[in-house]
Chains A and B, each alone.
Chain A
Amino acid sequence: MTAQTSTTDTTTTTTAQGARPAGAPASKNAESALPTHAKVPSRITGPRPTAGVPFARLTHVELRKMLDTRAGRWLLIGIGAIIAIALTIMFFNDGGQHAFVEYLQATTMPMALVLPVVGILAVTSEWSQRTGLVTFGLEPRRIRVAWAKTVAALLVGACAFALSLVLAALAHQSAITVRGVTGDWSVDALVLLGAGGYVLLGIAQGVGFGMLFKNTPAAVVVFFVLPTAWSILGSMVSWLRDAAVWLDLNQTMNPLFQGSLTGEQWAHLAASVTLWVLAPLAVGIWRLTRAEVK
Chain B
Amino acid sequence: MITVERLTKRYGPFTAVDDVSFEVKPGLVTGFLGPNGAGKTTAMRVMAGLTPASSGRATVLGKPYAALPNPGRHVGLLLDASAQHAGRTGREVLTLGAILMGVGRGRVDEMVELVGLTEKEANRRVRNYSLGMRQRLGIAHALLGDPEVLILDEPANGLDPAGIRWMRDLLRGYADRGGTVLLSSHLLNEIERVADEIIVIGHGRIVAQGTKEELLAGAGTFTRSTDDDALAAALASESVVAQRPPTGGLQVEAEPIVVGRVAVAHQIVLTELRGADSRGLEEMFLDLTADSAREGVAA
Chain A residues with CB under 8 Å of chain B are 1-3, 6, 8, 12, 14, 17-21, 24, 31-44, 48-53, 57-58, 60-61, 64-65, 68-72, 125, 129-134, 136-141, 292-294
Contact A293 B166 (CB under 8 A): no
Q: Is residue B174 within 8 Å, beta carbon to beta carbon, of the partner chain?
A: yes
- B83/A131 in contact, CB under 8 A: yes
Task: Report yes or no: A40 in contact with B102, Cβ–Cβ below 8 A.
Answer: no
CB-defined contacts of B141 to chain A, threshold 8 Å:
134
B residues near A36, Cβ cutoff 8 Å = 162, 166
Q: What 4 pairs between A and B have smallest CB-CB spacing?
A: A130-B83, A38-B169, A38-B170, A40-B173
A35 to B173, CA, bound (A): 15
B25 at the interface (CB under 8 A from A): no
B265 to chain A, nearest CB (A): 49
Q: Which residues of B contact A140 (CB under 8 A)?
A: 48-49, 65-66, 68, 71
Residue of A nearest to B79 (CB): A133
Instruction: Kindly identify which residue among A14, A38, A48, A293 contacts B50, using a CB–CB cutoff of 8 Å.
Output: A293
B77 touches A134 (CB 8 A): yes
Please, how many angstroms separate the alpha-carbon atoms of A52 and B69 in the complex? 4
On whether the beta carbons of A138 and B72 are closer than 8 Å, the reply is yes
Binding site for A on B (CB under 8 A): 45, 48-52, 65-66, 68-74, 77, 79-80, 82-88, 92-93, 96-97, 99-104, 106-107, 110-119, 121-122, 125, 130, 132-133, 136, 141, 143, 145-146, 148, 159, 162-163, 166-170, 173-174, 177
Given the interface contacts A129-B85, A131-B84, A137-B77, does A57 sit within 8 Å of B49 by beta carbon?
A: no
Asked whether, in the complex, the Cβ of B100 is within 8 Å of the Cβ of A70, the reply is no
Does the CB pair B166–A38 fall under 8 Å? yes
A269 CB to nearest B CB, Å: 37
Contact partners of B146 in chain A: CB under 8 A: 41-44
With most chain B CB atoms within 10 A of its CB, the pick from A38, A61, A65, A293 is A38
Known A-B contacts A69-B88, A71-B87; A31 and B121 likewise in contact (beta carbons under 8 Å) = yes
Instruction: Tell me the minimal C-beta distance from A121 to chain B in angstroms.
Output: 10
Contacts of B92 in A (CB 8 A): 68
Enumerate chain A residues within 8 angstroms of B97, measured Cβ to Cβ. 134, 138
A21 touching B116, Cβ below 8 Å: yes
Assess A40 versus B170: contact at CB under 8 Å? Given A2-B106, A130-B82, A133-B83.
yes
Contact B83 A32 (CB under 8 A): no
Q: How far is the CA of A42 from the CA of B136 in the complex (A)?
A: 17
- Chain A proximity of B43: nearest CB distance (Å): 13
B48 to A: closest C-beta gap in Å: 5
CA A3 to CA B166, docked complex, whole Å: 23
CB-defined A-B contacts under 8 Å, sample of 27: A2-B106, A3-B103, A12-B113, A17-B119, A18-B113, A19-B112, A19-B117, A19-B122, A24-B116, A34-B136, A37-B169, A41-B143, A44-B73, A60-B99, A64-B96, A69-B88, A129-B83, A129-B84, A133-B79, A133-B80, A133-B83, A134-B84, A136-B50, A137-B72, A137-B77, A138-B97, A140-B65
In the assembled complex, the CB of B101 is this many whole angstroms from the nearest CB of chain A, namely 7
* Known pairs A41-B143, A49-B73; A18 contacts B119 (CB<8 A): yes
- Contact: B162 with A137, CB < 8 Å? no
List residues of chain A with CB within 8 A of the CB of B88.
68-69
Residues of A within 8 A of B114 (CB): 35, 39, 41
Closest Cβ of chain A to B116, distance in Å, is 4
- Beyond the given pairs A58-B100, A137-B49, A137-B77, 16 more chain A to chain B contacts, judged by CB atoms under 8 angstroms and listed by A's residue number, are A2-B106, A24-B118, A33-B162, A34-B163, A39-B114, A39-B170, A41-B111, A49-B70, A52-B69, A52-B70, A60-B99, A64-B99, A125-B85, A133-B79, A140-B68, A293-B51
